[in-house]
Chain A
Amino acid sequence: DAGVIQSPRHEVTEMGQEVTLRCKPISGHDYLFWYRQTMMRGLELLIYFNNNVPIDDSGMPEDRFSAKMPNASFSTLKIQPSEPRDSAVYFCASSSWTANTGELFFGEGSRLTVL
């Protein structure tokens, strides 16, 4: 089985540009999570979806961030406009409520650098 797939793995952009990060969860998983990892703040949950519906977006830093899940196999996290403080590794993770293990399966992350 393929794991969680994220793209791009690395993104370097200039301040003010739009950034779109993509995620394909594990087939059959009904939860999808976006986390951000920085040295200063560790792993922060930004938003999570259940059956493609956003459940909790309280971790989204501000209106510049938005996330969508148009179908069960695809999600995007968009930052517009980007700022240097958005530089971080963004992880997507998925899990299965049916399996009820609580285990998250993580992608390899998208490392974002905003100059």
Chain B
Amino acid sequence: AQSVTQPDIHITVSEGASLELRCNYSYGATPYLFWYVQSPGQGLQLLLKYFSGDTLVQGIKGFEAEFKRSQSSFNLRKPSVHWSDAAEYFCAVGDQGAQKLVFGQGTRLTINP
């Protein structure tokens, strides 16, 4: 069965600093991989996704993620965070050909001014 692990429950960074959120997945074939963001009181919004091709994918709001098959990872990065990036971030994996996604536990990001 698919699974997703986000090792960091809570991360605090200073505004302007770089950010990397970790995601490891377990899946037999090449997965569909996603990062979603959830602001307080809101639903989840897609940041970026990987299906195939270039392993470095660009998303909205200046985020990017890199798929590393050898490490079963799909880490999310941003070179310089803004206070508005404070939110909860979820990594998810989906079956090829299926719409079902399995989400990680989420990483809560706090930004220090």
Residues of A within 8 A of B (CB): 4, 31, 33, 35, 42-43, 45, 48, 50, 56, 91, 93, 95, 97, 101-104, 106-109
Classify the secondary structure of B's interface with A: strand
Q: Give the contacting residue for B99; candidates A43, A48, A91; CB below 8 A.
A: A48
The answer to whether A97 touches B99 (Cβ under 8 A) is yes
The answer to whether B43 touches A109 (Cβ under 8 A) is yes
Given contacts A91-B43, A108-B41, contact A102 B103 (CB under 8 A): no
Please give me the residue from chain B that is nearest to A9 by CB atom.
B41
The answer to whether A108 touches B42 (Cβ under 8 A) is yes
Residues of B within 8 A of A (CB): 32, 34, 36, 41-46, 49, 51, 90, 94, 99-106
Chain A CB count within 10 A is highest, among B51, B90, B101, B102, for: B101
Q: Give the contacting residue for A43; candidates B32, B45, B106; CB below 8 A.
A: B106
Which residues of the other chain, A, contact B102 by a CB distance below 8 angstroms? 45
Please give me the residue from chain B that is nearest to A59 by CB atom.
B100
Classify the secondary structure of A's interface with B: strand
The answer to whether B90 touches A43 (Cβ under 8 A) is yes
The answer to whether A48 touches B43 (Cβ under 8 A) is no
The answer to whether A108 touches B51 (Cβ under 8 A) is no
Q: Give the contacting residue for A104; candidates B41, B44, B104, B106; CB below 8 A.
A: B44
Given contacts A102-B32, A102-B34, A103-B34, contact A42 B43 (CB under 8 A): no
25 A-B residue pairings within 8 Å (CB atoms): A4-B43, A33-B99, A33-B100, A42-B103, A42-B104, A43-B90, A43-B103, A45-B100, A45-B102, A56-B100, A91-B43, A93-B44, A95-B99, A102-B32, A102-B34, A102-B94, A102-B101, A103-B46, A103-B49, A104-B46, A106-B43, A108-B43, A109-B41, A109-B42, A109-B43
